[in-house]
Amino acid sequence: MSGPRRDTPRPAALGHLRVVDLSSGVAGQYCGKLLAGYGAEVTLVEAAGGAPTRRMPPFAGDGGTGSLLFRHLNQGKASVVLPGGEPDRDERLGALVAGADVVVRDAATVPPPLAPTVVECVVSDFPENGPYAGWGADEMVHQALSGYMNATGRSDREPLYGVGRRAYYACGTTAFVSVLAAVHERRRSGRGQRVRASVFESMAAMGQNFVTQHSYNGTTESRARYTGLLATLRCADGYIVMFAIRDPAAVCRLFDAEHLVDDPRFDRPGSFIRNWDELVKVFQGRALRMTTEEAVTRAQELRISCERVWTPGELVSSEQWRGREFVRTLRPARTGAEERALGPVFRVSGSAYLADTPSPGLPGTEIEGKDR
């Protein structure tokens, strides 16, 4: 099998690792994507019909049928399609894992025997020995179990479901960190080990304040209104979010409402908080006469925490995102078709980011390289 093509001689932090990705879902494949991004040679192993993520939405809106999710999860990887029948499939899979440093797999996938130096990462929805071990789950279930939905939304409405696959991305990140820790330990002991990452535990770790609160006093976070000095204001061309925690007088100056600084309703921290809603009504009337850029610029000059509410399209075209290369355009060597990609989630000093080739297509041949 030929490995993924490297167009750059720059050093890569994980360039010494060969990874076999046997996972079928978002968490495992995102772990593989992160490993590939920092230099590991990652091979996605697929059945004849392709990985399940190839059939998961959203799909390309240009008339194509490709899964944008699959593209995102598997940029920078090579692909191997296993033969359909035994023993050819088992023989091929055995040859792949024999040359691996790391194997990422689902809990239900049983790999061939692994060398004692291999780091094996098992990804699952729930811990295998916990009370939910036999449960099925999806993103909404995990958000509900973690407490995030209970704390999201208005107190007089039902909880809000946060769209996307944040729970599974959190688990993929946990798996990535766990693999790196095991690889680092292997340098000392010379031995591999099995590490586990579950979506359930990853979401609990993200909500550490919820867990600590319940452990301490038995209460849970609710959708009760936030009592701090927080406001979302509509401006002439959009919305801003402002957190007025330090200097009430500066907030009044921001909206040309200096006459309120000495108003007894707002002249002390306690009265400022108690009458915040009334003050926000004044600010809202003034904000409508300002653009978001004017409001944010002036707030920053006054050292007030304030930012515009950006749409996804505005973020993609923003100067900051362009400067940091948050969004890239990938062009495979042979077909000439372009594919959009997100840039690295973090940077490693002196190491190139190498998830810079499009996700592999599903070929009729056995192996599909990164450059198609």
CATH number of residue 252's parent domain:
3.30.1540.10
* % of the chain beyond a pLDDT of 70: 90
**DSSP class of residue 48?**
T
- CB-CB neighbours of 153 under 10 Å: 14
85-109 mean pLDDT: 92
113-117 mean pLDDT: 96
21-44 mean pLDDT: 97
Kindly tell me if the per-residue pLDDT of 188 is higher than 90: yes
pTM value is 0.86
Q: Pick the last residue of a domain from 278, 296, 315.
A: 315
| Statement to judge: residues 211 and 255 lie in one domain | no
**DSSP class of residue 2?**
P
| Statement to judge: residues 331 and 195 lie in one domain | yes
| Statement to judge: residues 298 and 174 lie in one domain | no
Kindly tell me if the per-residue pLDDT of 195 is higher than 80: yes
Please tell me which residue, 286 or 249, carries the higher pLDDT value.
Answer: 286
Q: Pick the last residue of a domain from 293, 315, 337.
A: 315
pLDDT at 54: 95
| Statement to judge: residues 156 and 87 lie in one domain | yes
| Statement to judge: residues 84 and 115 lie in one domain | yes
Task: State the average pLDDT for the chain.
Answer: 87
Segments of the chain assigned E as strands: 18-21, 41-46, 78-81, 102-106, 119-124, 194-198, 230-235, 238-243, 305-308, 327-330, 339-342, 367-368
| Statement to judge: residues 142 and 256 lie in one domain | no
Kindly tell me if the per-residue pLDDT of 109 is higher than 50: yes
pLDDT at 2: 43
Q: Is residue 309 situated within a structural domain?
A: yes
| Statement to judge: residues 150 and 198 lie in one domain | yes
| Statement to judge: residues 203 and 250 lie in one domain | no
Q: Is residue 106 situated within a structural domain?
A: yes
Q: How many domains does the chain have?
A: 2
pLDDT bin (cut points 50, 70, 90) of residue 209 is: confident
Among candidate residues 158, 140, 141, 152, the one with its CA nearest the CA of residue 222? 152
Q: Is residue 199 situated within a structural domain?
A: yes
pLDDT at 366: 45
Q: Is residue 3 situated within a structural domain?
A: no
Would you tell me the crossing angle of helices 208-217 and 199-206 to the nearest 10 degrees? 80
| Statement to judge: residues 94 and 51 lie in one domain | yes
pLDDT at 63: 47
Cα angle, residue 161 at apex, residues 157 and 165 outer, rounded to 5°: 175
Kindly tell me if the per-residue pLDDT of 271 is higher than 80: no
Q: Is residue 6 situated within a structural domain?
A: no
Q: Is residue 295 situated within a structural domain?
A: yes
pLDDT at 1: 44
Kindly tell me if the per-residue pLDDT of 269 is higher than 70: no
Q: Is residue 128 situated within a structural domain?
A: yes
- Domain range enclosing 67: 18-218+325-368
pLDDT bin (cut points 50, 70, 90) of residue 23 is: very high
Side chain identity at 55, as an amino acid letter?
R
Please tell me which residue, 218 or 336, carries the higher pLDDT value.
Answer: 218
194: three-class secondary structure by DSSP: strand
Please tell me which residue, 325 or 95, carries the higher pLDDT value.
Answer: 95
| Statement to judge: residues 168 and 37 lie in one domain | yes
Segment 157-173, tens digit of pLDDT: 889 888 889 999 999 99
In terms of DSSP bridges, do strands 238-243 and 305-308 run parallel, antiparallel, or are they unpaired? antiparallel
* % of the chain beyond a pLDDT of 90: 52
CATH of the domain at 341: 3.40.50.10540
Q: Pick the last residue of a domain from 279, 297, 315.
A: 315
| Statement to judge: residues 298 and 255 lie in one domain | yes
Segment 143-154, tens digit of pLDDT: 999 888 888 888
Segment 252-268, tens digit of pLDDT: 899 998 888 778 777 66
Q: Is residue 157 situated within a structural domain?
A: yes
Please tell me which residue, 50 or 155, carries the higher pLDDT value.
Answer: 50
| Statement to judge: residues 87 and 153 lie in one domain | yes
